Amino acid sequence: MIKLAKIPRVIFASVLALAMWTFISVNTSTFVAEDEFDYFQYILSYVISVGAWAVIAFDFNIMPRFKRGIGIGLFALTPFFCMHISMILSGSAEFLMNIYFINVLFYFAVLVLFFALTQSMKWSAVITLLLSYVFNLASFVVNLLRGTPLIPSDFLAIQTAANVAENYTFTMQYQIVVVTVLTAFLTALLCVFGYKLPLTTWKRRLTAALSGLAVFLVFYIPVLNTDFSAVSMDYFDQYHANNTHGTLYSFYVNLRRMKLEKPEGYSQEETQKAIESVPADTAPIPTDKPNIIVIMNESFADLSVLGDLRTNEDFMPYYRSLEKNTIKGELLVSPFGGYTCNTEFEFLTGLSMGLLPRGSAPYLQYIRHDQPTSFASYMKTLGYKSVAVHPYFARCWNREKVYKYFGFDNFVSIENMGEYENANQFEYIRNYMSDRTSYSAVITQLEEKDDDERMFVFNVTMQNHGGYTYNNPGLDEHITIENLEGDYPEAEQYLSLIRESDKELEELLYYFENWDEPVIITMFGDHQPAVEQDFYEELMGGPISGMSGEKLQTRYRIPFIIWANYDIDEKTDIKTSPNYLSNLVLETAGLPKSKTGVILDEIKEEVPQINEMGHFTPEGKWQPNNEEKSEALKRYADMEYYILTNKPAAEKNDEK
């Protein structure tokens, strides 16, 4: 027998249903995809919201054994509900049946773990369902904002993400509407029909808890002892990995692969001897050695490398015009759309993300002691003062600690820039300090140094940081795309920012052109921007998820420049990667290289460009990073592990 429930429950059901109907109606426009309205999903959302109202508003007086059967059935189906939520938010699911059930088993393990904690079938199911909703929704939203879904290291970077989150604009998608309404309906079902076990004594509760824990361990112990290194998952494209392996399973595989593993056959003693036995670079230090400025310009990229991109005007004309006393080329970087710190790590250490676990963030995970081989530390041995400048929060990406380990003498961040610059003259473009303001802080460092002092200044800018949806970005010029069919306001705003960066680069070089001391300025980007996915796919000629690893590398091509205010050998079309760039800076400055730098030169002969997905051979062939098949990569991996894990002798003595 079915009848209306008591008034408070009916009121609650009505308010909830009204809220869901309003939520659906205000987001009606999101159900339009490729100029077609998805009537099925739209109507289904309304039907589900009515179902949620009915489940709560009515009393279902059914036989106890039937209700018990429904409750147990809903409990058993909860992992499948979670998987369905994941599939809606993952895009076009391409699961094989075994992958589907692996994901279901993961959700089942979570379910029985919460059952062990709560001894309640109802609440363990509700908690598991809601956690699944939040986790999959978070991955979906991160992908919208950044261009790549949630990965384990994102949880280590929550503080950094929180600092920049307000600068992104979130756009509602119909998938969010559908899963939100569906989750509300399923939660109502579980709450109303959830079966309450007759656990009236502590012995029964203990038995239930131990039973749930035992089932969880039966699943988890084999999983814990499984080697996931051979899982054939698309680590290059995490969005595609979620489609083929499920959000939870792919997340867990990435989590397991994040641990810094000792290279096969590694010996600390032999690696140390190999590094120490390398002949020192005997290049004499110039008597009038140059000041060295290195700028990692946020999201600075030339998107024309992706395909035929025509705009109303050139967005980087000054950069392209530079020839005199200039070295220009292209870097192969590891991150896309975020994880600035990884390109920074490669430049400042000479180490490669290609030999670290996919999805890791060394600044947050592996830099735990002094790094005497870092570029900043090495420059100090050559008589330089090393200073870092970053017009944002020092805590982002753990820089305030990492820069100390790297040997920087001073770190100028947004918190203390007012000690060096007039805060009233800080210029902001959108919500970030402009490159012009950042460069002004760099100039101040050189202007205030002693005459006989030489400086290495490392500047990480912020002006071009995502997102690119500001209604009034405060730019003088607006770059428009003229040859693509789609409407890409984010890409156009990004290109307009690059046009501004190009002007600011011109101002910087003009300032130092007649500087009374020799100066070398290096500038490179950290990654390409997270703008519209459709923009990339139209420009690159097809879906990114179906592209080969080699084709995908066009998304990781970043320009760099080395300029001097005195005569240097001019070069163009140099192809390298950030881990080798510091050596090129030293060569240009006529400075000797460190022993690890000498080793890098030798490795570069066999591996001229490398990122976390693979490397190019000297013949231009794309290959995965397989240390077992490459003696150069094996040597590199041993050196990298040694540098990251071996504390300097002085630090070891301090601990005794």
What pLDDT, in 10s, does the model give residues 97-110?
Answer: 888 888 888 898 89
Which residues, including other chains, have CB under 8 Å from residue 260's CB and lie 6 or more apart?
A: 356, 357, 360, 365, 366, 641, 644, 645
Any domain includes 324: yes
Packed helices 174-193 and 7-26: angle between N→C axes, nearest 10 degrees:
170
Per-residue pLDDT, averaged over 139-151, amounts to 75
Residue 156 has pLDDT above 70, yes or no: no
Residue 655 has pLDDT above 50, yes or no: no
Per-residue pLDDT, averaged over 124-144, amounts to 88
Packed helices 238-245 and 97-118: angle between N→C axes, nearest 10 degrees:
80
Per-residue pLDDT at 320: 95
Find residue 385's DSSP bridge partners. Answer: 455
Residue 249 and residue 293 in one domain: no
Any domain includes 29: no
Residue 289 has pLDDT above 60, yes or no: yes
CA 70 to chain centre: 43
Higher pLDDT pick, 423 / 322: 322
Last residue in a domain, options 238, 256, 274: 256
Residue 236 has pLDDT above 70, yes or no: no
Per-residue pLDDT at 396: 82
Structural contact between residues 389 and 457, judged by C-beta atoms closer than 8 angstroms: yes
Residue 600 and residue 503 in one domain: yes
Report the residue count for the chain. 656
pLDDT band at 96 (very low <50, low <70, confident <90, very high): confident
Residue 182 and residue 316 in one domain: no
Residue 204 and residue 315 in one domain: no
pLDDT band at 270 (very low <50, low <70, confident <90, very high): very high
Per-residue pLDDT, averaged over 449-456, amounts to 91
Structural contact between residues 246 and 95, judged by C-beta atoms closer than 8 angstroms: yes
Residue 566 burial (CB count, 10 A): 12
Any domain includes 511: yes
* Mean pLDDT value across the chain: 86
Residue 215 and residue 311 in one domain: no
Residue 613 has pLDDT above 80, yes or no: yes
Q: How much of the chain exceeds pLDDT 90, in percent?
A: 42
The torsion angle over the Cα atoms of residues 48, 50, 56 and 61, rounded to 10 degrees, is: -100
pLDDT band at 93 (very low <50, low <70, confident <90, very high): low
Residue 210 and residue 149 in one domain: yes
Per-residue pLDDT, averaged over 167-188, amounts to 84
Last residue in a domain, options 213, 232, 256: 256
Least confident of 229-233, 283-287, 317-321, 416-420: 229-233
Residue 323 and residue 235 in one domain: no
CA 474 to chain centre: 27
Any domain includes 55: no
Per-residue pLDDT, averaged over 12-39, amounts to 84
Higher pLDDT pick, 542 / 234: 542
Structural domains in the chain (count): 2
Any domain includes 530: yes
Buried b (16+ CB within 10 A) or exposed e, 206-222: eebbeebbebbeebeee
Any domain includes 575: yes
Per-residue pLDDT at 132: 92
Any domain includes 267: no
Least confident of 57-71, 313-327, 431-445, 477-491: 57-71
Residue 466 and residue 601 in one domain: yes
pLDDT band at 653 (very low <50, low <70, confident <90, very high): very low
Residue 503 has pLDDT above 80, yes or no: yes
Residue 295 and residue 250 in one domain: no
* CATH code where residue 595 lies: 3.40.720.10
The torsion angle over the Cα atoms of residues 219, 223, 224 and 227, rounded to 10 degrees, is: 170
Residue 521 and residue 372 in one domain: yes
Per-residue pLDDT, averaged over 388-407, amounts to 89
Per-residue pLDDT, averaged over 24-48, amounts to 83
d(CA 232, CA 241): 10
pLDDT band at 654 (very low <50, low <70, confident <90, very high): very low
Q: What is the pLDDT of residues 345-385, one digit of tens each?
A: 999 999 999 998 877 888 888 888 889 999 999 999 999 99
Torsion 415-418-419-421 (CA) sign: positive
Q: What is the pLDDT of residues 76-85, one digit of tens each?
A: 999 999 998 9
Structural contact between residues 232 and 139, judged by C-beta atoms closer than 8 angstroms: no
Per-residue pLDDT at 363: 85
Distances, alpha carbon 636 to alpha carbons 185, 488, 585, 610, 619, in Å: 54, 41, 20, 11, 20
Distances, alpha carbon 51 to alpha carbons 81, 185, 380, 511, in Å: 16, 7, 69, 68
Per-residue pLDDT, averaged over 576-603, amounts to 95
Any domain includes 21: no
Per-residue pLDDT at 61: 77
Residue 166 has pLDDT above 70, yes or no: no
Distances, alpha carbon 395 to alpha carbons 160, 428, 497, 580, in Å: 8, 20, 25, 27
Higher pLDDT pick, 219 / 76: 76
**Beta-sheet strands, E only, within 466-544:** 519-525
Last residue in a domain, options 231, 256, 281: 256
Per-residue pLDDT, averaged over 426-436, amounts to 89
Residue 95 and residue 153 in one domain: yes
Residue 233 and residue 293 in one domain: no
Per-residue pLDDT, averaged over 483-507, amounts to 91
Supply angle C-alpha 361, 363, 368, rounded to 5. Answer: 125
Domain that holds residue 246: 62-256
Per-residue pLDDT, averaged over 448-453, amounts to 89
